[in-house]
Structure 1
Amino acid sequence: MPDDRDRLPLTASQTVVWLAQQADPENPIHAAAEYLDIQGPADLRLLQIALRQAVEDTDAFRVRFEIDADGPWQVVGQMRDWPLPVVDLRTALDPLPEALAQMEADLRRTTDLTRDLPFNFTVFVLADDRSLLYVRAHHIVMDGFGFGLFLQRVAEVYTALEQGQDCPPSGLGSLRELIEDDLRYRNSEQFARDHEYWMEQLSPLPAITTLAGKSAPTAHSFLRNSGQVPAPVVDQLRDLARRARCSLPTVAMAALALYLQRTTGAHDLVLELVVAGRKGPVARSVPGMVTNAPPLRIEMDPAMTTGELLRHTAARARGVMQHQRYPSCLLAHDLGIADAGIVTEPPAINIMGYTPNLHFGQHPVKLHNLSNGAVEDLTINVYDRSDGSLRIDFNANPSLYGAAENAEHHSNFMDLLHAFATADPEEPVAGLGLQPSSAATIFSCARA
């Protein structure tokens, strides 16, 4: 048994994942996964060394979870041995679909958090000059920001070794530092100010509006529709954001709120805004799981202009970002939602603006997302990439949305973005996009 001094509590975000996994132990949905498309002849020996070094440097990948009378806890141990399978598909008729099928099969495997490794890596060799590195981690140990830190470390070590240099020192912080930083926050004046902010913003809490018309438990998989916004439209959206003195992500948030309002008829809307939950140098240097999903409340006035909607959304989003560390699970208890047994989740929007620019030596790497973890209702991932491109994914809970329904929502939202692209900030927002639905889909989160 480890010394009590080695025991670390779970972060609030980890606790949420732990409880969800314990409620449905066979559910494989609590995994994040990417694959890296290495466009060049990768040195597989150096890649294996780089991966092992990065895992050694990442405390979160070396934790062991235990549970006792005090609840779950974790301890960082020595790196356990693990294989790096290499699947040679160079002679396959169509190697990419075969590789993707094997990745999907791995994502359907469950993880025993008290026994299994919380990660898996596999290399798929598609050609002499193209390989895919598949990386999967249980969400209890890694969020999107942490994944980016880990992959940057892999690329850094690989590049140094390929150039004949010594392995560079790691700039990654320890998991203990991350948890101690979180505990300091919990006992700080900022924590109290954040609590006060959220009580002011959400008391009384408006009804939760969804597109589904019902609630359902977390499914074991999710549906995805993905689309690229054409470059000229992206340029127009960025110009609209500039004229309205906001950002492109703000335009996406406002568009989602407007789509929800037009589809349901509700005017006081709550979205979940997925945030990194990291402030300060410690939190931004440690791979781990601290992501948060606080509420973004947008009040839609039918008479407001497009510019007013964007400015209102920007102001509310700034408030969320300033108070983003306050755990949304605590907020649910503060508002009495959890005590009331209400499980309905609003649509979530996740702005993916921190995709790392990776190179393995001289070889450029394209990063492709496979899963961000559980999808409670509908999650819209907005990839605002450094190259100026914009991709929109609609991930849906298949217990709530059919494939055709999710595809229709995705298509309608993309059309609405096109309408925003040519919008005049001074014109009424009522002239944009879809017409209101006659039937609103609203779940009340207020106590009777």
Structure 2
Amino acid sequence: MSVHEDSSRPLSGAQEGVWFAHQRLDHANAAYNTGEYVEIHGPVDAELFETALRRTVAETETLRLRFAETADGPRATLSSAADRTLHFVDVSAEADPHAAAEAWMRADLATAVDLTEGPLFRQVLFQAAPDRWFWYLRAHHILLDGYGFTLVARRLAETYSALATGQDVPACPFAPLDRLLDDERAYRASERFARDRAYWTERFADAPEAVGLTEGSAPPAAAFLRRTTHLTAAEAERLSDAATRLGAARNELFLAAVAAYLHRVTGAPDVVLGLPTMSRLGSTALRVPGTVSNILPVRLAVHPGTTVGELVGAVVSEVRDVRKHQQYRGEDLRRDLKLLSGDRRLYGPVVNLVPFAQDLPFGEHPTTWHHLSGGAIEDLQITVRLGAGGNGLKINFDANPALYTEAELADHEGRFLLLLDQLAEADAGQTLAATSLLRSGEDPGYAAGAAQDAPAPADATLPARFEAQAARTPEAVAVTYEGASLSYGELNARANRLARLLVERGAGPGHIVALALPRSTELTVGLLAVLKAGAAYLPLDPAYPAERIRSVTEDAAPALLVTGAQVAAALPETGATAIVLGDADTDRDLVARADTDLTDAERLSPLTPGDAAYVIHTSGSTGRPKG
């Protein structure tokens, strides 16, 4: 099939995903603009460059696409002409030409684009000095992904180099854009599509809500926060050696490090990361500039006792399966899991492991590739690519400014690099609990100058560990929320009183206590009190629909329910005896109880590390919630 002038075509799966994601934003949002620039270290013949560029644009079908909303949904038309204008900007007179050029580019990247109006891409050639030039390309993500950018840049460099040396320009290597649609149609009608769908839906049927380094969600914006770290060739080689020692590739070790960091910060036992994939299977897809890339979830079970070898091995296995099933679109998986609407995430941080080098010569002159934006940053994206000239590694931490501050992003970057450095030296048997996120000079919260006690014994329970910390630093702040705070001593005392009340009402090891409290200091008191009593806590979000609360409590059958005076009236019947915090009778009962630590003699039975701590249910998006 061939697309002709004015004949419309459906969008590819990747294009459709970008279309609907863009349409969910306000029209003034430029979050899906992508941009790169190539720094050319040597003189450039501007007229010859423009000739090469015009030829390259004419060969690149994706740059001639026009989009429209129709009764049949979004459609694309291949126009006979594209905007082949090359804008020239001379920044050589600026005090810092490079900074001036980048400022111009970033302002352009922030320009909102209407998908039905365009223009959807722009190209500029900056002169910073007679022997220093920047070629900048901005394109909406519906036209190009990272690999598509690379194909266009390679062809431009090849064409310019041939013209500059008086040689014949090699034949265009690009395959027609419709080949991607043909391949996609064949895939979606194949048994492989059915197998891929079965794999993904089964793998994530019981997945919990993905955790991240921040809570909540926010729409992506054109501007995002960025922190960049450069690893030397020796440092990169050290990571490669460590990966080989653990039976993995360097990128797999890096992915394991992100999973370990997310677990260490959040405590989540089920970590899901987003992994961009090229999804270009076969030689045809590798020769078509366009947008094909996909983001799929990598799910990993992680706990403090997980060894480095076990985690890296799990990553190797998961990545192998993801690559095997990478043609299945992430948008389709969201649809299967009923995640297309709402704020629930499919994955936490995105880890983009760029597999291809991007430096390429223009004529006789070497270049340096600069990545400005790969499109929307919903939460946090960590990108790893080769350094200039293929030496070392460049690591970008990009974050949504509505979810992170500059200081928070810098803190995460620093502590992650600290963990990565430890994994580079770790043996396969080292546990994640043995790693540290503390910088030199930091301590784990002990009072300044106080003697540090010996570590808690391996069989110490969680309440015992907390009580030991409260004894060491009773005045230190333990929890804060909206201006209110509790010290370790205050939190421990309040939790002890509530724990005694829970024990008297029948809570203990082997029992479950439901907690229906909004985010607050009281919620922390309640969680700790249930653990001190020896029971397992069952969190109930008061904002949940009544039917979900009924379903979860019917499944778990909690013995008691701890809630608040403002929440209790709105809760459905759970069948559990309620203890209402803030109620006058409850307050009198609590004041009358001792605030010292509980002993096993006071509990219904002795508390051990093997007793259940909590019961968490899945979202129920694919059926009844599972505990």
Report matched runs for 1:222-301 at 5 Å: 222-301=224-303
Report matched runs for 1:151-170 at 5 Å: 151-170=153-172
Q: Say which of 76, 94, 97 aligns to 1:95.
A: 97
| Partner Cα distance (1:116, 1:336) in 2 | 32
* TM-fit CA distance, 1:339: 5.7
Q: TM-score, normalised by structure 2?
A: 0.68
**Is 1:11 paired with 2:33?**
no
Contact 2:5 2:78 in 1 (8 A): no
| Partner Cα distance (1:105, 1:39) in 2 | 24
| Partner Cα distance (2:4, 2:366) in 1 | 44
- The 3 A distance-change label for structure 1 pair 446 and 240 is farther
2:430 corresponding residue in structure 1: 427
Matched position secondary structure for 2:294: coil
**Is 1:377 paired with 2:379?**
yes
1:417 corresponding residue in structure 2: 420
Report matched runs for 1:148-187 at 5 Å: 148-187=150-189
Q: 1:313-359 CA deviation, whole Å, 9 max, x = no partner?
A: 11101111111110011101112223666357521110112133311
Q: Say which of 300, 324, 327 aligns to 2:326.
A: 324
Q: Which amino acid aligns with 2:399?
A: A
Q: 1:163-195 CA deviation, whole Å, 9 max, x = no partner?
A: 101222101111111111111111111111111
- The 3 A distance-change label for structure 1 pair 4 and 83 is closer
Contact 2:6 2:78 in 1 (8 A): no
| Partner Cα distance (1:444, 1:231) in 2 | 44
Contact 1:124 1:131 in 2 (8 A): yes
1:36 corresponding residue in structure 2: 38
2:106 corresponding residue in structure 1: 104
1:218 corresponding residue in structure 2: 220
Matched position secondary structure for 2:10: coil
**Percent sequence identity over aligned pairs:** 39
Q: 1:69-115 CA deviation, whole Å, 9 max, x = no partner?
A: 01111011112344211111222222111111101110111112222
The number of residue pairs the alignment matches comes to 446
Contact 1:8 1:176 in 2 (8 A): no
Q: Which amino acid aligns with 1:17?
A: V
1:78 corresponding residue in structure 2: 80
Contact 1:206 1:444 in 2 (8 A): yes
**Which has the greater radius of gyration?**
2
For structure 2, list consecutive stretches of 5 or more residues without a partner in the other structure.
Answer: 439-443, 446-477, 480-523, 525-615
Q: What is the root-mean-square deviation in Å for CA atoms of aligned residues?
A: 2.3
Q: Which amino acid aligns with 2:250?
A: L
- The 3 A distance-change label for structure 1 pair 352 and 301 is same
Contact 1:32 1:137 in 2 (8 A): yes
| Partner Cα distance (1:341, 1:236) in 2 | 39
1:396 corresponding residue in structure 2: 399
Contact 2:49 2:160 in 1 (8 A): yes
* TM-fit CA distance, 1:20: 2.2
Q: Say which of 333, 339, 361 aligns to 1:359.
A: 361
Q: 1:208-254 CA deviation, whole Å, 9 max, x = no partner?
A: 11111211222332111111123332222110111112111101100
Q: Which amino acid aligns with 2:358?
A: P
Contact 2:272 2:347 in 1 (8 A): no
Matched position secondary structure for 1:302: coil
For structure 1, list consecutive stretches of 5 or more residues without a partner in the other structure.
Answer: none
* TM-fit CA distance, 1:269: 0.7
**Is 1:342 paired with 2:362?**
no
Q: 1:107-134 CA deviation, whole Å, 9 max, x = no partner?
A: 1111122222211111110111110111
Matched position secondary structure for 1:279: coil
Q: Which amino acid aligns with 2:15?
A: Q
| Partner Cα distance (1:308, 1:351) in 2 | 21
| Partner Cα distance (1:369, 1:114) in 2 | 26
2:370 corresponding residue in structure 1: 368
Q: Say which of 120, 123, 136 aligns to 2:122.
A: 120
Q: Which amino acid aligns with 1:421?
A: A
| Partner Cα distance (1:135, 1:347) in 2 | 27
| Partner Cα distance (1:5, 1:181) in 2 | 22
- The 3 A distance-change label for structure 1 pair 160 and 328 is same
Q: TM-score, normalised by structure 1?
A: 0.94
- The 3 A distance-change label for structure 1 pair 321 and 204 is same
| Partner Cα distance (1:5, 1:97) in 2 | 42
**Is 1:59 paired with 2:69?**
no
| Partner Cα distance (1:232, 1:155) in 2 | 30
| Partner Cα distance (1:210, 1:250) in 2 | 20
| Partner Cα distance (2:205, 2:398) in 1 | 30
- The 3 A distance-change label for structure 1 pair 213 and 278 is same
Contact 1:272 1:348 in 2 (8 A): yes
| Partner Cα distance (1:219, 1:444) in 2 | 30
Matched position secondary structure for 1:74: strand
* TM-fit CA distance, 1:203: 1.7
| Partner Cα distance (1:202, 1:401) in 2 | 28
| Partner Cα distance (2:353, 2:5) in 1 | 39
